[in-house]
Structure 1
Amino acid sequence: MIYQGNAISLARDDQGIATLTFDLKDESVNTLSGAVVQELGEALQALRGESDITGLILTSAKDAFIVGADITEFHGMFAKGEDEIQAMLERVHGIFNSLEDLPFPTVSAINGLALGGGCEVTLATDFRVMSDQAKIGLPETKLGILPGWGGCVRLPRLIGADNAIEWISGGTENRADACLAVGSVDAVVPAESLDAAARDILSRAGQGELDYQARRAEKQGPLKLDAIEQMMAFETAKGYVAGKAGPHYPAPIEAIKVIQKGAGEERARAQAIEASAFARLALTDVCYNLVGLFLNDQVVKKKGSQYARQSAPVNQAGVLGAGIMGGGIAYQSASKGTPILMKDIKEEAIELGLKEARKLFGKQLERGKLSSEQVAERLGNIRPTLSYGDFGHVDLVVEAVVENPKVKGAVLAEVEEYVSEDAILTSNTSTISITRLAENLKRPENFCGMHFFNPVHRMPLVEVIRGEKTSDAAVAATVAYARQMGKTPIVVNDCPGFLVNRVLFPYFGGFSQLITAGADFQRVDKVMEKFGWPMGPAYLLDVVGMDTAVHAGDVMAEGFPERMGSLGGGGDDGRPQSAIQVMFDNDRLGQKNAKGFYAYEEDKKGKPQKTSDETAIELVKSVAESGRDFSDDDIIARMMTPLCLEAVRCLEDNIVGTPAEADMALIYGIGFPPFRGGALRYIDAMGLEAFVAQADELAAELGALYAPTDKLREMARNGERFYQEAAEA
């Protein structure tokens, strides 16, 4: 043994081949923390002291090779400032360069995921062999930074500027066949043949058949592009990537600029350019929030895993109600391998559900994601039925009938008679109390909410709602099933609107008050889209459906009359209280009947496209009490304050367990701008004292919807935050 550390071991065999193995103790995956990188430097130093070494193999003892840098260290590291970040990068460059400069050939044997820094360390070796099941990639731009350990320098020289730009700006994970096609790896073999393939490459390099020195010279010299080729490669890419990334995500464009600036430089200068850009991006709010989002996602996944471990897998599911939503749920279950019974009382509803599932599988076939055989197999996981005949074998049922408490209650009581005593019943309701729906059940402990978001196949979030009598076993089974479906479950407690809709409807309340005060709804949409929302509030209401919004608004008004009473129906004087109500009263339901705040026409792909509509504009004017002008900042404050305050209240009321879960639910459920980190990170960024002052000023004019809680005021006085990592750093 040449070297033994906590994460790295280095040994040599009788032929003089050294093997450096990554195997981080007490962890399921390898990451490149500061300590692991230091060990890598020490191991390479020890290797240079050895004589008669003929080659080096980098390998991993885990299922994955290296999943990247240790992101839990990022906030603390980045808080030290630009100089410290650059110094860290220079240290890592020095270690990776020493690997690249070893006086014998080197090869990486990539057995599983090699991402971020894990990919970059393999780029420093002369050759790479890859398991046919492995993936490699550089996802740093998804965290608001760019590859800073040589990825922007070595990858373009290895696979060409065009391919490198696509990999880096997109942050993609790339399969083995794609890697071999562009030349990022030299061979793809079954996992059991990796070591033999790596040794074969070293043998051929040692005999002069493969020129590893020429490989190094190519990676360390300028990119072989003339001025015209550079202009075409980089300027064209900038325009395309800017259009896809949008104005709030600077990292993809910055990565292209780094590759461009370093194209004509040798290794040292190109790495300095990369390090400088990385350090600047690391200090941005976007990077801070995207790193925070990643850490929050880990919290949510860990909690989901803890719940799921308490439950056996769901082997057979059932869904009641076979319309678009039921068909979407059936598709999602079947596509991930869990058979599902799809029941309805009408043949035409069954056919509608099957049509939805067939359409979604058809799209997978068109995109090459599935073969026709796989589509047939997965469609076979959906069994339509008009009876409860086989429900005795079902582990979990999702009720997805009309959003009416009497209908849902009757259907749930009915199916309870046909399922086994330990089967779990769930309701896909967006507003109705789970405790209320459990009143007529014989086994309320086996019942909880399972709120999917529409469209089911695209929206990652599932709210798992615990009623007063819901057991831990019911929650665990429902979380396990959501995870089997490829969804992100977040467990919340029962209340009107649960978490996501309870937080969303004060946002709509802020919108209604703005319109009543005379704001132009189309301008409000543009301001909030510029702020980062995927669509403005009027457009979002059209997508949700005005009938759904009015129903949910009534539920919220009943549940929280002091704050949300205005979200209910029309006023006593007969005049509608809100623009939402006036749209509903005039049968403008949104996209579902092609007219709402906007008019809709289908494009060539059958997708609804919005256009301005004079009738809607005139109807909205009928509820405006004045023609007041608002600045962009005024609009943002009046829209965001009630949403953020309701998120605070949900945390204080224990509807949701942690700030991480609250923020991830809003990002996954309603498209809260990810680069802003979530509602509670948004408050942290503003500062609690400043946020409370803004809310108080608005509450004086607009009422209880804008009033801070006592606990929030106390947090502001004490200088506290919802997330402590920044303060600790």
Structure 2
Amino acid sequence: MSEQTAIRWEKGDDGIVVLTLDDPGQSANTMNDLYQKTMQHTVTRIEAEKGAIRGVVITSAKKTFFAGGDLRDLSAARPDDAARLFDEAAAAKNTLRRLETLGRPVVAALNGSALGGGLEIALACHHRIAVAGSNARFGLPEVTLGLLPGAGGIVRTVRMLGIEKALHSLLLQGQRLAPAAAVEVGIVDELVEDPEQLLERAKAWIRQHPDAGQPWDTPGYAIPGGTPANPSFAAVVQTLPSVLRKQLRGAPYLAPRNIVAAAVEGTQVDVDTALRIENRYFVDLLTSQMAKNMIQGTFFDMQTVAGGHSRPGGHPTWNARKVAVVGAGMMGAGIAYCCARAGLEVVLKDVTLEAAEVGKAYSAKIVDKAVTRGQLDTATRDAVLDRITATTTVADCAGADLVIEAVFENPDLKAAVFAELELVVADGAVLGSNTSTLPITGLAEAVSAQENFIGLHFFSPVDKMPLLEIISGARTSDATLAKAFDLALQIKKTPIVVNDSRGFFTSRVIGTRVLEGLAMLGEGVDPISLERATTEAGYPVGVLQISDELNLQTMHKIRTETLNAAADTGAPAAHPGDTVIAAMLELGRPGRAQRAGFFDYDEHGTRTRLWPGVRDHVPGGDAEVPFEDIKERLLFVEALESVRCLEEGVLISVADANVGSLLGIGYPTWTGGVLQYINGYPGGVAAFAARAEILAKEYGDRFAPPALLIEKASTGSTFA
């Protein structure tokens, strides 16, 4: 029996060797042990037979060219493994270095996406060819997983493009470029119109360039834009730390810092030394807890969610055809656009035709901008808009197999909407409410087919926010839940599934963060320090800014309903943040919508400055809260509330919790999500629980560890 291989070798009469990447045990090629061994063996064979080889083409038998590193192996790395990992990564780099210094032309025929390690293999080739107009993507997205390119990606892109372009076009944001954009940036050299042309064109290039090599191996080669040794460029390099700090807003992300360091340091030495520098920074990240958090939350948990873990089985895949969206405000307009863009027939209904037309105009604005940017052709633009009918007439909703209600958060109004629509829509239509807080079970009482009623909580702006929180009511059928899940995928949203509760998961949890921030303001924490602590913890915006966006008037209404509901059950629900809300409302400063909140706004609603009266007019104490405590109170209060949601059965999976917090409420990506933050806390779950007890003694019982957390801590288990 022949030894298993991940690379097929075919040598033609023309002396050109075609290497086809094809891992027999996986649907995608990855940089696993089999690949590493096979590639080393293959390069050794090429070197031995070089005299009879004219050139080499590397392509793939998979749908994608190469998927990158094996994340299960990478996420298992520990600090004690650092020396071994350094040697293994160095060996992989050395193999690609031998390939590019072979003395024979090497071409990458990219039949599909080349991301991460896949692009690094291609960069070690002398020429890269891809297919125009395909769905393939090219880039180095490792930074989004808390890592950096570990197979020479930094060294080669910096030498190819220059420090600034490599950092900003590829490395620091992890852009995934379409074929044309990849050519424009410079990581793909040419495009062919048809996949069948790839090998032919690659072989032709080899015949035309028999002496091809890497430009950086040519004596006298200069890195585009210069290096820190160049006085004019040194000034640019000196600004990189401040640029990075502005981009990260003080958040503790390690990968961008290591990427900049490896890029800059690597330009001041030869290629082989630069590869060793890159390797050290790579292993530093690979053995960090932050990388494990980010890989878990942004990759594995995302796969679990998108793969249907929370979708009831036994139900056929469903595609909606016609949707009635009721309420053409910002939410309804955004929902209408996403549905029309996905190919659904949309009826956008409001109480006046003018309001409905304004809602449709929202879609027109989006697609017109896409056409201007070359992202959409006019035929597609027209088709999207033609699928949206703006109306005030219920009869236009006849035959809809999906309803998404997006009117004001008023149970009576929502009941009236459904009572009217249920008479005309198709039998068995999914009846969805876009409420953000009102219990679904109660709203379902307004319809006769309660088994078809479900919560569909979108996030604003709908066309940009990727999450859809699906809420199953007490009488929602599994068939309806399955349809809602399928709808999310149909309109390209990431679905999480939760059970019914006031505020569900996302609204309930983000509410704790806002209230905690307001409570700290009331304790005497300086508002600027509060905002800075929020962003340095890793949140996208400060807690006072998000308060203005959410609107204190809305929050007050939600808090009143929550307090009334708590009074009925005898549960304590009062919070010190309520006092600050009341004070701001009394001052007539509810938020951005009214152009007056914790910040001042111009006539267009653009934030201009922190309201000077915050310190003078908001009741505050004189407590001195340590800066680290400010950050941890925000992170802890949301994580603890998430544990309660899991404990109460509102959350049905850890993956839904992590993904929902990352995509829906802006929980810092470096944590991996609300429950992964607990798992990855220094010292583990037990240390997190101990710290929570300290915070509870210092700041209030809301930080007291729930029973489920105490159980996990005592048994040494994690949220998995």
TM-score, scaled to structure 2:
0.90
Q: Is the 8 A contact 2:100 2:124 kept in 1?
A: yes
Which deviates more from structure 2 when the two are superposed, residues 279-288 or residues 194-203?
279-288
Q: What is the rounded CA distance, in whole Å, between the counterparts of 2:526 and 2:41 in structure 1?
A: 64
Task: Give the residue type in structure 1 aligned to 2:573.
Answer: G
Pick from 156, 164, 167: which aligns with 2:158? 156
Partner of 1:631: 626
Q: What is the rounded CA distance, in whole Å, between the counterparts of 1:402 and 1:543 in structure 2?
A: 17
Shift of 1:46: 4.2
Task: Give the residue type in structure 2 aligned to 1:495.
Answer: S
> Structure 2 matches for 1:102-121, cutoff 5 A?
102-121=102-121
Pick from 147, 150, 169: which aligns with 2:149? 147
**Unaligned stretches of 5+ in structure 2?**
none
Partner of 2:618: 620
Secondary structure of the equivalent of 1:77?
coil
Shift of 1:366: 4.6
> Structure 2 matches for 1:418-567, cutoff 5 A?
418-560=424-566, 565-566=573-574
Q: What is the rounded CA distance, in whole Å, between the counterparts of 1:347 and 1:178 in structure 2?
A: 41
Shift of 1:466: 0.7
Q: What is the rounded CA distance, in whole Å, between the counterparts of 1:330 and 1:219 in structure 2?
A: 59
Secondary structure of the equivalent of 2:52?
coil
Partner of 1:279: 283
List per-residue Cα deviations over 1:497-529 (Å, max 9, x = no partner): 111112122333433443444444443333222
Shift of 1:614: 4.6
Pick from 684, 688, 691: which aligns with 2:688? 691
Q: What is the rounded CA distance, in whole Å, between the counterparts of 1:27 and 1:313 in structure 2?
A: 30
Task: Give the residue type in structure 2 aligned to 1:716.
Answer: A
Task: Give the residue type in structure 2 aligned to 1:325.
Answer: M
Pick from 663, 677, 681: which aligns with 1:668? 663
Partner of 1:212: 212
Task: Give the residue type in structure 2 aligned to 1:39.
Answer: T
Partner of 2:200: 196
Task: Give the residue type in structure 2 aligned to 1:8.
Answer: I
Shift of 1:666: 1.2
Partner of 1:268: 272
Alignment of 1:45 with 2:44, yes or no, is: yes
Q: What is the rounded CA distance, in whole Å, between the counterparts of 1:306 and 1:14 in structure 2?
A: 54
Q: Is the 8 A contact 1:324 1:353 kept in 2?
A: yes
Alignment of 1:173 with 2:167, yes or no, is: no
Shift of 1:363: 3.7
Task: Give the residue type in structure 2 aligned to 1:244.
Answer: Q
Shift of 1:371: 4.2
Q: Is the 8 A contact 2:350 2:391 kept in 1?
A: yes
Q: What is the rounded CA distance, in whole Å, between the counterparts of 1:177 and 1:637 in structure 2?
A: 44
Alignment of 1:311 with 2:317, yes or no, is: yes
Q: What is the rounded CA distance, in whole Å, between the counterparts of 2:312 and 2:11 in structure 1?
A: 44
Q: Is the 8 A contact 1:108 1:128 kept in 2?
A: yes
Alignment of 1:302 with 2:302, yes or no, is: no
Shift of 1:174: 2.3
The 1:257/1:638 distance shift into structure 2, 3 A limit, reads: closer
Alignment of 1:69 with 2:44, yes or no, is: no
Alignment of 1:344 with 2:350, yes or no, is: yes
Partner of 1:254: 258
The 1:270/1:611 distance shift into structure 2, 3 A limit, reads: closer
Q: What is the rounded CA distance, in whole Å, between the counterparts of 1:682 and 1:420 in structure 2?
A: 45
Q: What is the rounded CA distance, in whole Å, between the counterparts of 2:148 and 2:688 in structure 1?
A: 32
Shift of 1:653: 2.1
The 1:183/1:531 distance shift into structure 2, 3 A limit, reads: closer
Q: What is the rounded CA distance, in whole Å, between the counterparts of 2:138 and 2:69 in structure 1?
A: 14
Which deviates more from structure 2 when the two are superposed, residues 667-676 or residues 706-715?
706-715
Task: Give the residue type in structure 1 aligned to 2:691.
Answer: Q
Q: Is the 8 A contact 1:59 1:65 kept in 2?
A: yes
The 1:108/1:434 distance shift into structure 2, 3 A limit, reads: same
Q: Is the 8 A contact 2:548 2:591 kept in 1?
A: yes
Secondary structure of the equivalent of 2:77?
helix
The 1:304/1:413 distance shift into structure 2, 3 A limit, reads: farther
Q: What is the rounded CA distance, in whole Å, between the counterparts of 2:57 and 2:366 in structure 1?
A: 44
Secondary structure of the equivalent of 1:31?
coil
Q: Is the 8 A contact 2:116 2:142 kept in 1?
A: yes
The 1:640/1:84 distance shift into structure 2, 3 A limit, reads: same
Task: Give the residue type in structure 2 aligned to 1:296.
Answer: D
Task: Give the residue type in structure 1 aligned to 2:653.
Answer: T
Partner of 2:609: 611
Q: What is the rounded CA distance, in whole Å, between the counterparts of 2:531 and 2:103 in structure 1?
A: 61
List per-residue Cα deviations over 1:455-495 (Å, max 9, x = no partner): 21222211001111212221222222222222211111111
Partner of 2:652: 657
Secondary structure of the equivalent of 2:324?
strand
Q: What is the rounded CA distance, in whole Å, between the counterparts of 1:270 and 1:675 in structure 2?
A: 27
Identity %: 32
Secondary structure of the equivalent of 1:565?
coil
Q: Is the 8 A contact 2:515 2:578 kept in 1?
A: no
Secondary structure of the equivalent of 2:172?
helix
* Aligned length, in residue pairs: 705
Secondary structure of the equivalent of 1:439?
helix
List per-residue Cα deviations over 1:605-647 (Å, max 9, x = no partner): x4521433354444422xx4x4322222333344443322110
Shift of 1:651: 1.5
Task: Give the residue type in structure 2 aligned to 1:613.
Answer: W
The 1:305/1:102 distance shift into structure 2, 3 A limit, reads: farther
Q: Is the 8 A contact 2:97 2:124 kept in 1?
A: yes
Q: What is the rounded CA distance, in whole Å, between the counterparts of 2:294 and 2:533 in structure 1?
A: 22
List per-residue Cα deviations over 1:34-54 (Å, max 9, x = no partner): 332222223333444557333
Task: Give the residue type in structure 1 aligned to 2:716.
Answer: G
Q: What is the rounded CA distance, in whole Å, between the counterparts of 2:219 and 2:402 in structure 1?
A: 55
Q: What is the rounded CA distance, in whole Å, between the counterparts of 1:526 and 1:184 in structure 2?
A: 37
Shift of 1:663: 1.8
Q: Is the 8 A contact 1:434 1:465 kept in 2?
A: yes
Shift of 1:589: 1.8
Partner of 1:726: none
Q: Is the 8 A contact 1:563 1:705 kept in 2?
A: no
List per-residue Cα deviations over 1:220-259 (Å, max 9, x = no partner): 9774747326426644555544432443334334323323
Shift of 1:596: 2.0
Task: Give the residue type in structure 1 aligned to 2:591.
Answer: G
Which deviates more from structure 2 when the two are superposed, residues 496-505 or residues 711-720?
711-720
Q: What is the rounded CA distance, in whole Å, between the counterparts of 1:244 and 1:165 in structure 2?
A: 12
TM-score, scaled to structure 1:
0.89
Pick from 713, 717, 720: which aligns with 1:716? 713
Q: What is the rounded CA distance, in whole Å, between the counterparts of 2:31 and 2:652 in structure 1?
A: 30
Task: Give the residue type in structure 1 aligned to 2:70.
Answer: D
The 1:413/1:5 distance shift into structure 2, 3 A limit, reads: farther
**Unaligned stretches of 5+ in structure 1?**
569-575, 724-729
Q: What is the rounded CA distance, in whole Å, between the counterparts of 2:649 and 2:123 in structure 1?
A: 48
Partner of 1:599: 600
Q: What is the rounded CA distance, in whole Å, between the counterparts of 1:219 and 1:461 in structure 2?
A: 52
Q: Is the 8 A contact 1:315 1:338 kept in 2?
A: yes
Task: Give the residue type in structure 1 aligned to 2:301.
Answer: N
List per-residue Cα deviations over 1:178-203 (Å, max 9, x = no partner): 33345433321022211111121122
Q: What is the rounded CA distance, in whole Å, between the counterparts of 2:53 and 2:158 in structure 1?
A: 30
Secondary structure of the equivalent of 2:320?
coil
Q: What is the rounded CA distance, in whole Å, between the counterparts of 2:242 and 2:518 in structure 1?
A: 38
The 1:79/1:559 distance shift into structure 2, 3 A limit, reads: farther
Q: Is the 8 A contact 1:300 1:661 kept in 2?
A: yes
List per-residue Cα deviations over 1:417-472 (Å, max 9, x = no partner): 11111221100001111111112322222121000112212222110011112122
Task: Give the residue type in structure 2 aligned to 1:140.
Answer: E
Shift of 1:558: 4.1
Q: Is the 8 A contact 2:311 2:485 kept in 1?
A: no
